[in-house]
Amino acid sequence: MDSDGTRPKCPRGLLTNDYYDNIETFISAAYETGHDFLATPIVHPKYGDRVNGYKGKQLQEWRARPVYDRDDLILKKAQSQEVTLGLLSKWLKLDSKDADLRVNSEIALRQEIQWACHLGLFAVATPCLPSKGSVANLARVLNHAVSAMSVTQLFVHVKVADVKDLESNRAWKQWNKLRNLTEHNPKIGIILELTFHLPKNEMLLDMWLAEPVKAIIIPAEIFVSNPKGYPVLKKSHQAFVKKLMEKTAPYIALTIPPTQIHPMAVPNSYCEYINFLNNHLSKMDPVEQFAFGYQDFLQNPLQPLMDNLDNSMYATFESDPIKYQEYENAVYHALLDRVKDGSDYESVVMVVGAGRGPLVNCCLRAADRADRKIHVYAVEKNPNAFVTLQNAKAETWHDQVTLVFADMRKWKPERQCDILVSELLGSFGDNELSPECLDGAQKFLKPDGISIPCAYTAYVSPMASSKLYNEVASYKDLTHFETPYVVMFQKTCELAPSKPVWTFEHPNPQVDGEPTDNLHNVRFASVDFQAGPQDMIMHGIAGYFEAQLYKNVMISIHPQTHSPGMFSWFPIFFPIRTPLQVPAHSNVSIQFWRATDEKKVWYEWSASVENDEGDVTADTPIHNVGGRSYWVGL
């Protein structure tokens, strides 16, 4: 990423299934025309013809010890191997009903992959998956093969749609079948080929964003000519390619036009067009720039009650301009409403969880804007942050601010406040225990006092993300599948728009004085989602929050209402242990619990899939029972 938010460029390559006898000349021509890599067959087609012609003892000898002759190979030696993608032979049919062809294909595929790894190719790609039929033996062989591949990557060639039935998502079903057979093997990626026609159902395209798409093939035949005669993509293809470029940054392989004859005349107009798309991707917004390099990176949620934040963490959160702008607006409007008669009344504002003081500054700026007198109490329990507050008081705030070193739940103030301000929210709204903290601080407020925020709502949606599922699965234990993570989503796809699960309000009318228990903060919700007209897979649950600071002043990470440019919070991801198959038009039901005892708060969650008749076709166990894997300490 450049400093101006320009996205990284996608490598552009040339894919050929020809030029067997002069591959070195072709490689030179490809690089001279601006291509970054080359995709080419590894083995000459005549090798397959010869192998499948073997009979009897000759076949037995080859199967026992398959060895290439030099003339069997297109790639005979290591040459630009770090920028070469090897195409496995098209004749390989690992799920053929012909036993000889099936066995020969398995042996030859292993042989080709071993040669590619010996050369050090950066990747190999399988022949295109069939639109129907078994892929079980292919999955088994690939699963074995990738276990021995360290540098060379393996891509499964998949067409984006079945050309005979665009809206069936049959191509994805075949990929999903293979992916399930390999247990979501993270070493197996996709090289996705665009077809001349794309599905009209946008979800059939967006679902590929949640898959491990490492490269895309753009055949020359799907380009059209613009008024100046240059090759361009149709708007539908261009939009999809740009979305892939922004979300997955794939290798882009262009095929040679069918009219092209001579290898030295490799056209560069197609490559120039991809370069044009690269240069005209949308600039990263402030949130994307802030999160660059951390997309789809699992982070444990903060526990500010148990753990004191360090200086760098405070500095990161304080760099968010939008959050504090909205807090200032909320305090400004609250002060105007608090004193409407123009009297010389001084409002008392308490900032609880003051940190290094950004909310104190918001309150003081709001008072200046509103031309109101205020006195601020800054309450903080972190002894290190409290030193910073002392510095700010001595150097800037002086008598306008009173510092209090205390836990807001236990401090007994001598006077009550007009406005109570806090920023205790987490990615799920209540997951950093804002309800429990503000229950304890509520006694600070006058009976008609104002809490900022005054309410916040948690949202969930079913989500697909092969990347996030594999990240969690790599730990190979139950604990990580029962732990929520803060994640900047990138290679993800929501199966349906998010819905609310619960809301907390402040001041809380259920709290009168010191709460004797925490049962009023227990929650349960069951939310139903309708799947679209395509089969999908669910890897987990996405979580968001939307907060009302005061009246119409809001902050939100909920996709439908996200505060533009605010990056203090990433969404939260709740994994599920076994991905759920979600057939077209089925119902996805998510159950969520917020539970508590005297020492901790935790979440439990489960999901199920039902058909049109209400029968459960897939479900999960309840995750994190009793907070056995994840909890937040009180």
| Bind-site residues | 314, 323-324, 380, 407-408
* 432 in active site: yes
DSSP-assigned beta bridge partners for residue 540? 463, 575
Buried (b) or exposed (e) across 386-416, using 16+ Cβ within 10 A? bebbeebbeeebeeebebbeeebbebebeee
DSSP one-letter string for 547-593: EEEETTEEEE-STTT--TT--S---EEEEEEEEEEE-TT-EEEEEEE
First to last CA, the chain: 40
CA distances for 489 relative to 265, 293, 493, 497, 541, angstroms: 42, 12, 9, 15, 12
DSSP one-letter string for 339-408: --S---PEEEEEEES-TTSHHHHHHHHHHHHHT-EEEEEEEE--HHHHHHHHHHIIIIIGGGEEEEES-T
DSSP-assigned beta bridge partners for residue 483? none
- Which one of 193, 328, 423, 604 is the catalytic residue? 423
* 61 in active site: no
Task: List, as residue ranges, the binding site for S-adenosyl-L-methionine.
Answer: 314, 323-324, 380, 407-408
Can you tell me whether residue 498 is helix, strand or coil? coil
DSSP-assigned beta bridge partners for residue 154? 124, 188
| Cβ–Cβ under 8 Å, residues 379 and 353 | yes
Can you tell me whether residue 50 is helix, strand or coil? helix
For 303, left (φ over 0), alpha (ψ -120 to 50), or beta?
A: beta
- Give the residue from 148, 169, 150 showing the smallest Cα distance to 158: 169
The residues, any chain, with a CB within 8 Å of residue 32's CB and separated by 6 or more, are: 266
| Cβ–Cβ under 8 Å, residues 555 and 326 | yes
Sign, Cα dihedral of 46, 77, 153, 221: negative
Each as own residue / partner, the long-range contacts of residues 626-630 (CB below 8 Å, 24 or more positions apart, any chain) are 626/595, 626/602, 627/595, 627/600, 627/601, 627/602, 628/482, 629/478, 629/479, 629/480, 629/481, 629/482, 629/483, 630/479, 630/482, 630/483, 630/484, 630/602, 630/603
Distance CA 277, CA 493 (A): 23
- Give the residue from 479, 462, 457 showing the smallest Cα distance to 547: 457
Distance CA 584, CA 586 (A): 6
| Cβ–Cβ under 8 Å, residues 40 and 23 | yes
- Which one of 432, 436, 471, 604 is the catalytic residue? 432
Distance CA 422, CA 228 (A): 59
Q: Which residues are catalytic?
A: 423, 432
